[in-house]
Structure 1
Amino acid sequence: MLLRAVSRLKLLQTGITVVLLPPVYYMYLQGDASDLLVVYTTGIALFAGTMLYTASHFFRRVVGMMYVDSAQTTLRVSHLTFWGKRTDVYMPVSDVMTVGDAGDSIGEPILKLKRYSRADTLYFSTRFGRVVDRHIFEKVFGTLT
């Protein structure tokens, strides 16, 4: 929820700075704005765009929730899109690497969610999140001890 709000605020901030650029350049061309204002406004817009890209790259890779179906064969993983909306990815449990296979140790605060069939990596936390059913979690990701 917090990452979703921050993601949308970054979009809003970037949008506002991009909308402000044309009037500032117009005022500069008319002689009503100083060089410093143009440089300052352009710098803020570039910084906002860079931060939007960086933040959205991070936010898209953080897992919000994970669910296993009743047959315990499919894992549904929820994460954010670039626009701050929730999207679900479905993957077979047999395709999900255990914590040990992903190269993490159990005590780490952030763990990798990797698959055998794809190179992309998502991240989740058992320290900041909550494991509702430990037995199913260990079936998918391996033991916690």
Structure 2
Amino acid sequence: MNVIIKYLHCPARVKLRLLSGTVLNKEVSKDGNYTPVYKFPYIRPLAVVNRLKLYQTILTATSVPAVAIMTQMNYVDVDALKATCFLGLSGCITLYGLGFLTSKFIGFIYYNEEKDVAKVAYVDFWGRRRDLEIPASDVIPINELPHSYMDGLFLTFRRYSTKQTLRLNMQYGIILDKEKISKIL
């Protein structure tokens, strides 16, 4: 209760830090046997881009019909309808294009030595965190993957059991434990 009172009386930028800290320091498992081995510090801006496309879509879907109704009632000019459609659709196209590039990025990799299981936390299409528990033997090693022209931006993270591909940024990502990440990748 004391934390809530402190939260209510602090400035907006501090509230943002407090909220972001609770998401970032999310408990990994109930038994706590997972050790962080990799983190991507810029995962939050990528998640924000993916969340913005949802908000832009909702804004466009509500504003275009509203302006169309106002145009029919002669409250606004037809040019306002054209501008609303153009801005809404161009914003959606831009954000969905950026969202395509920024989704499926891995933010954290945790490793449990006892179970030989990796927990991978990534950003999905809608900007939410998704956690996968993967046996380390199911991960295709990076040196066995074919080279891609996108390797300069990110490496692909694949598994033997599914065709799902995640993105791993090694240029800006931080390896916290080289010995344990070598057991996974």
The answer to whether the superposition gives a TM-score over 0.5 is: yes
Contact 2:53–2:96 under 8 Å retained in 1: no
Alignment partner of 1:86 out of 129, 136, 156: 129
The one of the two structures with greater contact order (alpha-carbon pairs below 8 A, sep at least 6) is 2
How do residues 12-51 of structure 1 correspond to structure 2 at under 5 angstroms? 12-51=55-94
Name 1:103's counterpart in structure 2.
Answer: 146
- TM-score for both structures, normalised by structure 2: 0.66
Name 1:135's counterpart in structure 2.
Answer: 179
Name 1:56's counterpart in structure 2.
Answer: 99
Aligned residues: CA RMSD:
2.2
How do residues 64-75 of structure 1 correspond to structure 2 at under 5 angstroms? 64-71=107-114, 73-75=116-118
Alignment partner of 1:120 out of 144, 156, 164: 164
> Using the alignment, how far apart are the partners of 1:109 and 1:36 within structure 2?
41
The Cα of 1:74 is off from its aligned counterpart by 1.1
> Using the alignment, how far apart are the partners of 1:104 and 1:136 within structure 2?
24
Contact 2:138–2:159 under 8 Å retained in 1: yes
The Cα of 1:94 is off from its aligned counterpart by 0.6
> Using the alignment, how far apart are the partners of 2:95 and 2:171 within structure 1?
27
The Cα of 1:50 is off from its aligned counterpart by 2.8
The Cα of 1:127 is off from its aligned counterpart by 1.7
Any idea what the Cα deviations from partners look like across 1:53-94, whole Å, max 9, x if unmatched?
Answer: 333333331111111113262111111233322110111111
Aligned pairs, how many?
140
Q: Please tell me the residue identity of whatever aligns with 1:134.
A: K
- TM-score for both structures, normalised by structure 1: 0.82
Contact 1:14–1:49 under 8 Å retained in 2: yes
